[in-house]
Copies of this chain bind each other. A is one copy, B any other.
Amino acid sequence: MATIYDVARLAKVSKTTVSKVVSNTPYVSEETKKRVLEAMEQLQYSPNLAARGLKGKRTYVIGLIVPYHAEHLFHDPFILDIVLGVESTASDYDYSVLLFMPKPTDKRGVYDRFLRTGYVDGVVTLESHAGGIDDTILDELGIPRVSAGYREDLKQINSVHSNDRLGGYLALAHLLELGHRNIGIISGPANFVVAVDERLQGAREAMAEWGIQLDPALIGYGDFNVGSGYQVAQQLLEREQRPSALFCMNDRMAAGAMYYAHNHDLLIPADLSLIGFDDIALPTIVEPPLTTIHQSPTEIGKTATQHLFALINAEIESFATITLPVELVVRQTTAAPYARSIHMGSSLK
| CB-based contact B100/A98 at 8 Å | no
The answer on a CB contact under 8 Å between A96 and B74 is no
| Chain B nearest CB, measured from A81 CB (Å) | 8
* Of the residues B77, B79, B97, B227, contact of A99 by C-beta under 8 Å: B97
Which residues of B sit under 8 angstroms from A48, Cβ to Cβ? 54, 117-118
A239-260 residues at the B interface, CB under 8 angstroms: 256, 259
Q: Which residues of A, 51-95, contact B by the 8 Å Cβ criterion?
A: 51-54, 59, 61, 64, 68, 71, 74-75, 77, 79-80, 83-84, 87-88, 91
**Contacting pair B230 A259 (CB below 8 A):** no
Determine whether A113 belongs to the interface, using a CB cutoff of 8 Å to chain B: yes
A316 in the interface, Cβ–Cβ < 8 Å? no
CB of A64 within 8 A of CB of B99, answer: yes
Q: How far is the CA of A144 from the CA of B80 in the complex (A)?
A: 26
Q: How far is the CB of A262 from chain B (nearest CB, A)?
A: 9
Residue numbers in B under 8 Å from A59 (CB-CB): 50
Binding site for B on A (CB under 8 A): 1, 44, 46-54, 59, 61, 64, 68, 71, 74-75, 77, 79-80, 83-84, 87-88, 91, 96-101, 103, 110, 112-114, 116-119, 141, 225-227, 230, 256, 259, 281, 283-285
